[in-house]
Amino acid sequence: MNVLAIGCHPDDVEIACSGTLAKCVKRGDKVTVCHVSTGNLGHVIIPPDELTIIRGKEAKKAGAMAGIEVICADFNDLEIYDNNREARDKIVDIIKYANPDFIITHNPEDYMPDHTAVARLVFDASFTATLPNYKLANPKYSNADTPPAKMVPIFYMDTLAGVDFNPTIYVDISEEIDLKIDMLECHESQLVWMREHDGIDFADMVRTCSRYRGYQCGAEYAEGFRQLQSYLKGTTERLLP
């Protein structure tokens, strides 16, 4: 299967679903991760242009650890809006390129506007990408010969710290938890600053949340998801590993 995970910032997927994606790779899936934003405003000292380069390299390093292709939609932080064609087309381009059998993205009720905008963009673009006569003006990843995407299920990944999120599907990541944390640790521009200046061990928080989800489903560690309930996006098949 082809799996596409679309997160907002370069570390969001590592936080919420990298154990599941690593497990997908292990079963033979082709996994593509798209971070929609460069994350260029994610530091107090490092300027945006420099941080864009740093965070892009961190994301690719993390993906390489699990055999995942990492791409970017090149939005800047706080410049993601879901009600315009240019933004939608960027996500359509990525969906057509990845040709997923299912998509993982943010929960529509999350804690920051960039996350919720991405959730709405993915819902919109996942339909638009299936239309054979819809043309993209300047695709970056697909091309004129790329066939339309399939109509596929969408799974919403956990919110930060699991706030106001009740999973309906769990994935046991007990064997992948150390890899998940190692992938997260690749994002040094975020984690090192939080440890040294804010006194926050973010990796420990992520491990703890995975442990909590594990308690809920009888696993040592787990990640939780909720499937979008929408016409033509249902399935009788278990797609998550």
pLDDT digits 0-9 by tens, 77-102: 999 998 889 999 999 999 999 999 99
Long-range residue pairs from 195-200, CB within 8 A, at least 24 positions apart, any chain: 197/44
When pLDDT is cut at 50, 70 and 90, the band that residue 199 belongs to is confident
- pLDDT (tens digit, 9 = 90+) per residue, 135-145? 998 899 999 88
Q: Is there a contact between 193 and 43 (Cβ–Cβ < 8 Å)?
A: yes
107: nearest Cα among 7, 233, 207, 223: 7
Bridge pairing between strands 169-172 and 102-105:
unpaired
Neighbours of 175 (CB within 10 A): 13
Backbone angles phi, psi at 210, to 5 degrees: -65, -35
Q: Tell me the pLDDT band of 200, cut-offs 50, 70 and 90.
A: confident
Whole-number Å distance between alpha carbons of 140 and 80 = 18
pLDDT value of residue 75: 95
Say if CB 21 and CB 33 are below 8 A apart.
yes
Which pLDDT does position 197 carry in this prediction?
A: 84
Place of tokens 């933004």: 87
Task: Determine if residue 232 is left, alpha or beta; phi over 0 gives left, psi from -120 to 50 gives alpha, anything else beta.
Answer: left
Average pLDDT, the chain: 95
Closest listed residue to residue 240, CA positions, set 148, 175, 173: 173
- Residue at token pair 């984690």: 191
**Given a cut of 90, is residue 231 above it in pLDDT?**
yes
- Under 8 Å between Cβ of 3 and 29: yes
- pLDDT tens digits, one per residue of 29-69: 999 999 999 998 888 889 999 999 999 999 999 999 999 99
